[in-house]
Amino acid sequence: MTQLALVIDLNVCVGCHACVTICKAWNTSGWAGPMTDQRPYDRDPTGTFFNRVQTFEVGTYPNTETVHFPKSCLHCEEPPCVPVCPTGASYKREEDGIVLVDYDKCIGCKYCSWACPYGAREIDEKQRVMKKCTLCVDRIYDQSLPEAERKPACVLACPTSARLFGDVHDPDSHVSVMIREEGGYPLMPEWGTKPANHYLPRRKTRLRIHEDELLRADNPLKKEGQLPAPSGDEQTLDDITSW
């Protein structure tokens, strides 16, 4: 069974919000649109987005990490949002595990959003139906797109390629390999929702300079006759022994 998902690499995400607005752009005129905005040019503008990028700070100065954290529907394998839906508008596709909402069936009761621990669903306040990330289901199977572009809009847009897309059930897929090898993890594992989307943690590259690496036979100062002498005027045996 296929389970399509995103894997988001926090190690390279710079928090640019490209995935946020490209998602809006693709979807507002697409199958899942419009994504209505409220008070677009007035006080407290707000609107429907399927994907948001948030920022967290970890630790205290000076050991602070700034973590940019994109979040969209995680297409849970045990999606708590689906069974609670009274109308069947929320469903998980058998063939690829994508969780979708059928706007024609949705009554806008918001119950599914209560049942999502991740805050991944947003109601469209104008259309009054529940909306969420579709994993760009209207792109990834679109035969009229070149094969390389049959990917979610946000994945193609992401400048740091922090967003990877693939089948997490296929152990050989790029996403599975990354999850396995780079320490991919699910969000809020405590609820057993088994999010299909995974996150890759920050990884650090360090450099260790050994002291003896500073001393070298070919030190250019030698050529100037100026190799750093053992500092200053320390005594040597030569100075004090007389036999």
In the complex with another protein, the residue whose CB is nearer, 104 or 234, is 104
Non-local (6+) Cβ contacts of 243 within 8 A are: none
CA 64 distance to own-chain centroid: 20
CB of 117 to ligand SF4, least distance (A): 7
> Contact letters (x/-) for another protein, 110-139, by CB under 8 A?
xx-xxxxxxx-xxx-xxxxx----x--xxx
Query: Shortest approach of ligand SF4 to residue 53 CB, angstroms?
Result: 4
| 83-91, 164-172, 235-243 -> range binding another protein (CB under 8 A) | 83-91
Nearest to 199 by CA among 95, 1, 56, 102: 56
- What are the tokens at 192? 């057993």
Task: Select from ligand SF4, another protein, none the partner in contact with residue 227, using the beta carbon and a kind-dependent cut-off of 5 to 8 Å.
Answer: another protein
C-alpha count within 13 angstroms, C-beta hemisphere, residue 71 = 17
Q: What share of the chain is helix, strand, coil (3-state, %, to 5)?
A: 20, 20, 60
CB 46, min distance to ligand SF4, A: 18
Q: Does 194 bind another protein (CB under 8 A)?
A: no
